[in-house]
Structure 1
Amino acid sequence: MDNEDGAHVYILRCSDGSYYVGSARRGLERRLSEHNNGTYEGYTAKRLPVVIVWSEHFLNITDAIAVERQIKGWSRAKKEALIRGDFGALRAHAKRGGK
């Protein structure tokens, strides 16, 4: 899985209940391990452990980055609708201004 083409976009739930949106080019499990090992300073390093609550694979890294940026701009409620797979709620949030 670590050598597959493309990239994953993912949402992590942090120990404080907040969400982190990111992307991984070298495998999702590897990236999760890097987060939980505190490999990189930043948002998740102070909110460990983290768990993956949603992910999607994209064949094209530019598509993954575009989706990552889009999701980062969403409200907590819209992210939670995506995590649940509640596409009706996603549409409702989109009608309220896109976030």
Structure 2
Amino acid sequence: MNYHNYAIYILTNKARTVLYIGVTNDLSIRLQQHIEGYNAFSFTSKYNCFYLVHFEHFQYVDDAIAREKELKGWSREKKNSLIETDNKDWRFLNDEVIQK
């Protein structure tokens, strides 16, 4: 069986007031698409959510989608706690993920 790489990710805006949760099979490319305004009418473009603050990897797409749905149902407080588990200072992690 081939190994697959999927990720859920949380983006925020510069002021850290808005959160966006997504799922992808290539986090580096997906972040670039958000930054470049791949879809000018999207939520991330509208609210300038380009800054990665949390991500999790999965082998199976079904697991990634289930986790995305789970997180979207959480309160903002619970999402904040998740982010702060590994990223206490809400550092922007884009440079750690985007391949240059």
TM class, shorter-length: 0.7 to 0.9
Q: Provide structure 2 residue ranges, at least 5 long, that are not aligned to the other structure.
A: 87-100
User: Structure 1-normalised TM-score?
Assistant: 0.75
DSSP 3-state at the match of 1:85:
helix
Task: State the Cα deviation string for residues 55-89 of structure 1 (Å, max 9, x = none).
Answer: 00000000000000000111110000000118xxx
Name 1:93's counterpart in structure 2: none
Q: Distance in 2 between matches of 1:12 and 1:82?
A: 13
Name 1:57's counterpart in structure 2: 57
Following TM superposition, where does structure 1 have runs of at least 4 consecutive aligned residues deviating by more than 4 angstroms? Answer: none
Is the alpha carbon distance of 1:11 and 1:80 closer, same or farther for their aligned partners in structure 2, counting shifts above 3 Å? same
Percent of counterpart pairs with the same letter?
38
User: Structure 2-normalised TM-score?
Assistant: 0.74
Q: Distance in 1 between matches of 2:47 and 2:31?
A: 13
Q: Distance in 1 between matches of 2:72 and 2:49?
A: 20
Q: How does 1:16-35 map to 2 (within 5 A)?
A: 17-25=17-25, 27-35=26-34
Q: How does 1:1-99 map to 2 (within 5 A)?
A: 5-15=4-14, 17-25=17-25, 27-40=26-39, 41-48=41-48, 50-85=50-85
Q: Provide structure 1 residue ranges, at least 5 long, that are not aligned to the other structure.
A: 87-99
Residue identity opposite 2:60 in structure 1? N
Aligned residues, how many?
82
- Contact in 2 for aligned 1:15/1:47 (Cα 8 Å): no
> Rg: which structure is higher?
1
- Contact in 2 for aligned 1:35/1:44 (Cα 8 Å): yes
